[in-house]
């Protein structure tokens, strides 16, 4: 269908006739009722304005000749007719070389034949009903009897927006302006909507007005990216059904949200090797980046009170757990109270994810987004997991005997690998801690650990049992390894991942060789942490990577770590059997270690890089 058929008029060069036909069609296809029809009529109107400069109908030349013939004397007209035959007689044989006929030649044959029918010719040659008063070019479709200049009217309407001091006041003004009769005219309405869109895109705290204008005038379908972002943020802030799921920019996120809860979680857990980032998470980050500036300024009544109640409940629960643990004896109670103290300090100094106003509004608008965000968090739901750990410790200290000791061992094995898996997922998406330790902290920790090792080893060789000094030395080694990992920048993801993969070799041997009869094996377990940290530093340093002695040193350290892991599993199995715990926790530990290092190997092959460490 051509633009002229859509407008319901014959091809014409009269701009006023085109605008009159457009205005008539718009009344039947209002943008708030029929957006598709409105867009089709608007496109036809713009195409007709573009084509009108090429149209010079034959009947206009005929009318000019007819008026010239009537003004001349009859005799002169007859003589001129005898000497010079009218050009119209030549028309069937040689059509005038005009742009109009060039345009007609491009039309389908059925339209060309229809234009030559008598009733269409009569319509084209009809006299104009009245002369139209000249109006300014920008508002030519305005009626001649309009009492207010369109530019002044638009300025008055915009001034009312500026005078509104709240979202509710602006909404009432926009609803009243929607009944303005002058806004039914094409050019003025177009300028009005452009000005309204720019006004709403440059103002904060106007969610209701933004949503109403977007739905009333279809502004959210425009090409103004800033307005579309504010429209999406306004719907989220007012807890309305999220509109972003219909945006092509967030197609993968929308597909993930439309799945059932179990399928959503399965889609996130399927990547057990932690080798790729889920597309829905990337688009969630893009959505958060797009809407956060607007959502952070939106009001969130009751959020502070909600967080206060949540922290109070967790603190009260932890104190109750400390009371339960104290029933097992003074030592157990003191240990539990110390754990509760550190836990409460953690709650006081950490922020819940909902404390970010943007995430609070997005979580409230679409609750599954919380699960997606926590899936790549280094410590997801950290406060609740720590509370569960305290509960397990409290119950174990109250009754330190099987089967509770076996359950506690199994619980902390699973928690260790769950935390390790979460950290690897966070590293995959480029997570970086806010407070990075400086270079002096690892050096000081190394010096203190070596000093403690120097104090413990001679006494251990003399047969003295010093488990507390051994535990302090082991914790210093683990802390040194953690500080070295925290200092790695986000762009060194391969080294960060490898250090996490080797973390079991740092944590398990010191625990397994506690109280060993041969102090040298225990000393070797204590030295694994600093040696592995030094080994990985050399392997990922371009300067030292190809030095042969350092390569031999790395192979020796890694081989020793593997042997210590195997010996640790054997010792832990024997200890568990001797204390009535059974082999189940050690068996689960061995299976998880095998899966852990299988994922490490698969990750190395998938990246087509040589494995390090």
Q: What is the mean pLDDT of residues 513-524?
A: 84
Task: Work out the pLDDT band at 543, boundaries 50, 70, 90.
Answer: confident
Task: Extract the tokens encoding 355.
Answer: 């404390």
- DSSP-assigned letters across all residues of 147-178: SS-HHHHHHHHHHHHHH--SHHHHHHHHHHHT
230 burial type by CB count under 10 A (0-12 exposed, 13-18 middle, 19+ buried): buried
Helix (H) and strand (E) counts in the chain: 30, 0
Between 40-44, 368-372, 425-429, 505-509, the lowest mean confidence (pLDDT) is in 40-44
- pLDDT band, very low/low/confident/very high, at 62 (cuts 50, 70, 90): low
- Cα distance between residue 434 and residue 416, in whole Å: 23
Residues 557 and 535 sit within 8 Å (Cβ to Cβ): yes
Kindly indicate the confidence band of residue 254, based on its pLDDT and cuts at 50, 70 and 90. Answer: very high
Q: What is the per-residue DSSP string for 293-333?
A: HHHTTS--TTHHHHHHHHHHHHHHHHHHHHHHHHTT-HHHH
Average pLDDT over residues 161-171: 89
Cβ contact 314:347 at 8 Å: yes
What average pLDDT does the segment 365-378 reach? Answer: 91
pLDDT one-digit tens code per residue, 209-251: 988 988 888 887 777 788 888 888 888 888 888 888 878 889 9
**Do 416 and 469 meet the contact criterion of CB atoms below 8 Å apart?**
no
The pLDDT score that the predictor gives to residue 269 is 85
Range of lowest pLDDT (206-215, 340-349, 387-396): 340-349
State the alpha helices, DSSP H only, in 382-466: 382-398, 404-428, 440-461
pLDDT at 389: 86
Task: Please state the rounded mean pLDDT for residues 186-208.
Answer: 86
584 Cβ partners below 8 Å, 6+ apart? Answer: 406, 410
Q: Could you give the count of Cα atoms lying within 13 Å of 91 in the half-sphere of its Cβ?
A: 11
**154 φ, ψ (degrees, to nearest 5):** -65, -40
Among 37-41, 70-74, 116-120, 556-560, the least confident range: 70-74
Q: Are 586 and 603 in contact (CB under 8 A)?
A: no
Residue 268's contacts (CB-CB under 8 Å, 6 or more residues apart) are: 278, 371, 372, 375
Q: Is residue 565 over pLDDT 90? A: yes
pLDDT of residue 253 exceeding 70, the answer is yes
| Dihedral of the alpha carbons of 529, 531, 532, 537, in degrees to the nearest 10 | 130
Q: Which residues contact 156 (CB under 8 A, 6 or more apart)?
A: 148
| Structure letter (DSSP) for residue 248 | G
Q: Which residue has the higher pLDDT, 311 or 230?
A: 230
Nearest 5°: phi and psi at 390?
-65, -35
Three-state DSSP at 224 gives coil
Indicate left, alpha or beta for 131 from its phi (over 0: left) and psi (-120 to 50: alpha): beta
pLDDT winner (highest mean) among 155-159, 381-385, 407-411, 602-606 = 407-411
Q: What was the pLDDT predicted at 309? A: 78
pLDDT tier at 66, thresholds 50, 70, 90: low
Residue 348 pLDDT: 57
Q: How confident is the model at residue 280 (pLDDT cuts 50, 70, 90)?
A: very high
By mean pLDDT, which of 79-83, 179-183, 503-507, 526-530 is the weakest?
Answer: 79-83
- Per-residue pLDDT of 7-18, as tens digits, reads 888 888 888 888
Q: Categorize the per-residue pLDDT at 81 as very low, low, confident or very high, splitting at 50, 70 and 90.
A: very low
Q: Structure tokens of 556?
A: 């020796």
What is the distance between the alpha carbons of residues 118 and 177, in angstroms, rounded to a whole number? 46
Of 249, 209, 229, 210, the closest CA to residue 358 belongs to 229
Measured distance CA(141)–CA(23) in Å, rounded: 9
pTM, two decimals, is 0.66
More confident residue, 132 or 214: 214
In this structure, of 40-54, 68-82, 430-444, 448-462, the range with the lowest mean pLDDT score is 68-82
Q: Give the model's pLDDT for residue 585.
A: 92
In this prediction, residue 611 carries a pLDDT of 41
**Least confidently predicted of 103-107, 109-113, 212-216, 280-284:** 103-107
User: Quick one: average pLDDT of 570-598?
Assistant: 91
CA 525 – CA 600 distance, rounded (Å):
23
pLDDT at 385: 87
Give the pLDDT of residue 136.
45
Q: Which residue has the tokens 């629960």?
A: 317
- pLDDT band for position 346 (50/70/90)? low
Instruction: Give the three-state DSSP class for 67.
Output: helix
Question: 316-341 burial string, b = 16+ CB within 10 Å, else e?
Answer: eebeebbebbbebeeebbebbbebbe
Tell how far CA 608 is from the center of its chain. Answer: 30
Cα angle, residue 431 at apex, residues 430 and 435 outer, rounded to 5°: 135
- What integer is the mean pLDDT of 522-534? 92
User: What pLDDT is attached to residue 133?
Assistant: 44
* Model pLDDT, residue 334: 63
Q: Which comes out higher in pLDDT, residue 166 or 183?
A: 166
Are 537 and 492 in contact by the 8 Å Cβ rule? The answer is no
Which range has the worst mean pLDDT, 337-341, 377-381, 465-469, 525-529?
Answer: 337-341
Picking from 137, 185, 244, the residue whose alpha carbon sits closest to that of residue 20 is 185
Would you say residue 95 has pLDDT above 60? no
Predicted confidence (pLDDT) at residue 138 exceeds the cutoff of 60: no
Angular region, 8: left φ>0, alpha ψ -120 to 50, beta rest = left
Return the DSSP state at 127: P
Residues 182-210, mean pLDDT to the nearest whole number: 85
Mean pLDDT of the chain: 79
CA–CA separation, 13 vs 30, rounded Å? 26
Cα 89 from Cα 433, distance rounded (Å): 89
Identify the pLDDT of residue 86: 47
d(CA 428, CA 414): 21
Q: What is the DSSP letter of 245?
A: G
Q: Band of the pLDDT at 96, cuts 50, 70, 90?
A: very low
Q: For 519-570, list the strands marked E by DSSP.
A: none
pLDDT band at residue 257 using 50, 70 and 90 as cut-offs: very high
Q: 439-485 pLDDT, tens per residue?
A: 899 999 999 999 999 999 998 888 887 889 999 999 999 999 999 99
The per-residue pLDDT for 483 is 93
The whole-number average pLDDT for the span 45-53 is 82
Q: State percent of the chain over pLDDT 70.
A: 77
The DSSP line for 463-506 is T---HHHHHHHHHHHHHHHHHHHHTS-TT-HHHHHHHHHTHHHH
- How confident is the model over 547-557, as pLDDT tens digits? 778 888 888 99
Which pLDDT value is given to residue 515?
Answer: 76
């Amino acid at each position: 269908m051509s633009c002229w058929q859509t407008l319901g008029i014959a091809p014409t060069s009269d701009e006023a006739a085109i605008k009159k036909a457009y205005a008539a069609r718009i009344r039947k296809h209002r943008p708030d009722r029929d957006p598709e029809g409105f867009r089709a009529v608007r496109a036809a109107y713009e195409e007709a304005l573009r084509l009108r400069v090429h149209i010079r109908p034959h009947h206009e030349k005929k009318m000019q000749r007819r008026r010239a013939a009537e003004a001349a004397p009859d005799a002169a007209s007859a003589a001129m007719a005898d000497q010079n035959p009218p050009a119209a007689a030549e028309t069937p044989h040689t059509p005038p070389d005009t742009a109009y006929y060039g345009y007609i030649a491009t039309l389908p044959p059925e339209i060309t034949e229809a234009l030559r029918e008598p009733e269409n010719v009569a319509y084209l040659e009809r006299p104009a009903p009245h002369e139209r008063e000249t109006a300014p070019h920008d508002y030519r479709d305005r009626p001649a009897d309009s009492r207010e200049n369109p530019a002044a009217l638009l300025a008055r309407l915009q001034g009312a927006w500026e005078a509104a001091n709240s979202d509710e006041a602006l909404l009432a003004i926009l609803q009243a302006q929607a009944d303005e009769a002058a806004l039914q005219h094409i050019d003025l309405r177009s300028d009005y909507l452009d000005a309204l869109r720019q006004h709403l895109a440059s103002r904060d705290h106007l969610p209701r007005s933004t949503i109403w204008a977007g739905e009333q005038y279809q502004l959210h379908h425009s090409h103004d990216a800033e307005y579309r972002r504010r429209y999406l943020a306004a719907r989220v802030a007012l807890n309305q059904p999220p509109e972003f799921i219909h945006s092509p920019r967030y197609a993968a996120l929308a597909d993930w949200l439309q799945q059932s809860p179990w399928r959503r979680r399965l889609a996130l857990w399927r990547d057990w090797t932690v080798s790729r980032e889920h597309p829905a998470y990337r688009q969630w980050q893009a959505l958060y980046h797009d809407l956060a500036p607007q959502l952070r300024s939106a009001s969130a009544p009751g959020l502070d009170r909600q967080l206060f109640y949540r922290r109070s409940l967790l603190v009260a629960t932890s104190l109750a757990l400390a009371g339960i643990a104290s029933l097992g004896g003074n030592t157990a109670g003191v240990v539990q109270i110390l754990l509760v103290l550190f836990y409460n300090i953690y709650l006081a100094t950490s922020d819940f994810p909902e404390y970010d106003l943007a995430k609070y509004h997005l979580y409230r608008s679409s609750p599954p987004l919380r699960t997606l965000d926590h899936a790549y968090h280094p410590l997801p739901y950290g406060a609740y997991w720590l509370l569960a750990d305290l509960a397990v410790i409290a119950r174990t200290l109250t009754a330190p005997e099987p089967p509770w000791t076996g359950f506690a061992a199994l619980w902390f094995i699973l928690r260790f690998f769950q935390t390790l898996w979460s950290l690897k997922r966070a590293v995959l998406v480029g997570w970086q801690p806010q407070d990075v330790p400086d270079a002096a902290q690892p050096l000081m920790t190394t010096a203190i650990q070596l000093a403690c090792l120097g104090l413990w080893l001679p006494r251990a060789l003399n047969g003295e049992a010093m488990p507390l000094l051994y535990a302090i030395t082991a914790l210093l080694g683990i802390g040194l390894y953690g500080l070295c990992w925290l200092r790695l920048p986000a762009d060194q993801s391969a080294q960060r991942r490898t250090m996490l993969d080797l973390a079991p070799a740092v944590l398990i041997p010191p625990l397994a060789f506690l109280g060993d009869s041969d102090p040298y094996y225990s000393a070797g377990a204590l030295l694994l942490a600093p040696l592995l940290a030094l080994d990985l530093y050399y392997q990922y340093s371009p300067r030292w990577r190809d030095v042969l002695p350092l390569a031999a040193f790395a192979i020796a350290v890694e081989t020793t770590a593997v042997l210590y892991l195997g010996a640790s599993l054997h010792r832990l199995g024997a200890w568990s059997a001797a204390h009535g715990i059974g082999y189940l926790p050690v068996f689960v530990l061995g299976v998880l270690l095998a899966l852990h290092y299988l994922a490490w190997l698969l990750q190395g092959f998938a990246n087509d890089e040589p494995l390090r460490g």
